[in-house]
A and B are shown apart, each in its own frame.
Chain A
Amino acid sequence: MAIVKNNFFEDGDVPTAAELNQPYDDAATATATLGQENVADNWITIKHIDTTPVGVFNKLFSFVYSGTSEFSTNSTSYVTIDSTGANPSEVILGYQPEQQEVYRVECSGLVTNINAEQTYDSTAGPPNGDRNYYAFRLLLTYDDGAGPLTLNLGEWGYSFTTMAGGTSRYWTSSNGLPKETGVPLGFQTFQFSKVFKHNGATGSRTFTKIELQSKVNYNGNTLKVSRNNIVVVRATR
């Protein structure tokens, strides 16, 4: 709001009723729209922040599966992790972000007793050792008003064994044997995080959910995942 002005009366002046009333009327109008110029520095305290309806600064969304059932896959394309068969690893969001606001996604889990049948193929062309890899990704589903769309938020990889992948593992005629090319690194954690920003207009997009997905690079190898979780922090102010 604007600064409220006062009339300056000196001794001997005869103020009118309108002049006397004016500052009160102006103050009544102006106090409905108090702004930065009306308040003292450092006036706000944490108790003034209303945290009752939703987080003013941050809001938390999460998915947690803490059981021991294993999700198993040998798919070479991404599939959503679902350790129990009825509880897919996904965070339901259901909000419309404002322009420039961010959301950060953190994810972790446990890879259990994986099976690596083959981590190197000397008969195939390069890169022969990519069979040693498996990967995770976070997939956002959103809606701009014309039905659900998806966006790959990020991918991160691991290897089944200690062996170098690609073509940099120096090989001999013995390479490619399904055995003795490394013990699978089971019961290891996986983890990754990233921040994303909404550059579109406020209210133009609805974030539906974020899924945790995985795949292997060779369908003879099997990835198994038990406990896993996804945390999404929506930062608004």
Chain B
Amino acid sequence: MAKTFTDKPIHQFDQVKTSNITTNLDKHLDEINGGLDSNNLPVDSVDKDSLQLPINSPLGISGTINKYGTIMASQAYYQVFTGPAADIYTPITSIDLDSDTWSAGFNTIPELDPTYEKFPLSFDAREGMLIGCATIDWEHGNNVFSVDDGDGNFVPRGRGNDIWTEWQVYVNNVAVARTGKIFPRRHTTQIPFAIACGTQPVTIDCRVQINTWRSTGSPAVTTTSTDFKIFSAGIWIRNQYR
């Protein structure tokens, strides 16, 4: 409401009709009883304490996968993460690219290792924006083999320098961010992303494409790919309401 005026004005020396008293009071009280709006409150008058306290979201799990969230008045945060191991130099999963099952296309983390079946982050979003980030600590390094340097000397040389890895983030199975090719090394890759959403169920996961080949050049060792390793992986998301 903006302003309320007296519905049945009463003038000096008038005889008051009692039903008009009811009518006049009802008009004002109706505003207090659910009609107050932005015109009734001064600007800059809502502070932190005017808004509801954050509440726990129902998706908390812990163990191999940690998943939790907080729902606030203007936004909600959700996160899933796994790893690292107690020793930061020990991977939480290693994929033998010569014998394990993996795809030449994009692999979800649970596809690479079923231990992480619950990794995708699922929650009920409210209409607005999803702003988040995936952070994965992974490695696909190259090999070293003894190679004849041309003078009959066998020296160590890297093999597989052109293998590459690419990570993407998917929201409800739609790719929303990608890294491009990352060449061999251990790397902590951070992938920020943002996308509009409705009031709807949302599932976010990250997927990886691995390009590798069996190295050659060793006179003594069976050629093979190096393992693909993950040390930790996590996705956090901020759902900013409309």
A→B interface (CB under 8 Å): 3-15, 20, 23, 27, 30-31, 34, 37-40, 43-45, 47-54, 56-57, 98-102, 104, 106, 108, 120, 127, 129-130, 132-133, 135-137, 154-159, 161-166, 168-175, 177, 180-182, 185, 190-195, 197, 217, 235-237
Contacts and interface: CB of A to CB of B under 8 A. Distances in A.
Contact of B144 (A23, A120, A193): A120
B140 A164 contact: yes
A23 B236 contact: no
Given A158-B186, A236-B72, A39 B36 contact: yes
Contacts of B187: 158-159
Contacts of A3: 33-34
A193 B226 contact: no
A182 B226 CA distance: 15
Contacts of A235: 70, 72, 75, 77, 238
B107 interface: no
Contacts, number: 269
Contact of B36 (A40, A155, A159, A172): A40
Contacts of B141: 129, 132, 159, 161-165, 168-169
A57 B52 CA distance: 11
A11 B17 CA distance: 6
13 contacts: A40-B36, A51-B44, A135-B88, A154-B84, A154-B232, A159-B139, A162-B142, A172-B218, A175-B144, A190-B188, A191-B188, A193-B135, A237-B54
A172 B157 CA distance: 11
B94 interface: yes
B88 A157 contact: yes
B196 interface: no
A168 B226 CA distance: 5
A200 to B, nearest CB: 13
A181 B146 CA distance: 11
Interface in B122-175: 133, 135, 137, 139-146, 154-158, 161
Interface of B: 1, 17-19, 21-22, 25-26, 28-29, 32-38, 40-48, 51-56, 68, 70, 72-75, 77, 79, 81, 84, 88-91, 94, 133, 135, 137, 139-146, 154-158, 161, 183-188, 190, 215, 218, 220-222, 224, 226-227, 229, 231-232, 234, 236, 238
A48 B158 contact: no
A119 B158 CA distance: 13
Given A40-B34, A47-B44, A170 B186 contact: no
A56 B45 CA distance: 11
Q: Which of A53, A181, A237 has the most CB of B within 10 A?
A: A237
Contact of B185 (A15, A30, A159): A159
A159 B157 contact: no
A165 B89 contact: yes
Q: Which 3 A-B pairs have the closest CB atoms?
A: A164-B141, A159-B186, A168-B227
Contact of A237 (B73, B137, B140, B142): B73
A193 B158 contact: no
B74 A237 contact: yes
A40 B30 CA distance: 11
B79 A194 contact: yes
A139 B34 CA distance: 49
A30 B72 CA distance: 27
Contacts of A127: 89-90
B146 A172 contact: yes
B227 A166 contact: yes
A9 to B, nearest CB: 4
A18 to B, nearest CB: 14
B135 A192 contact: yes
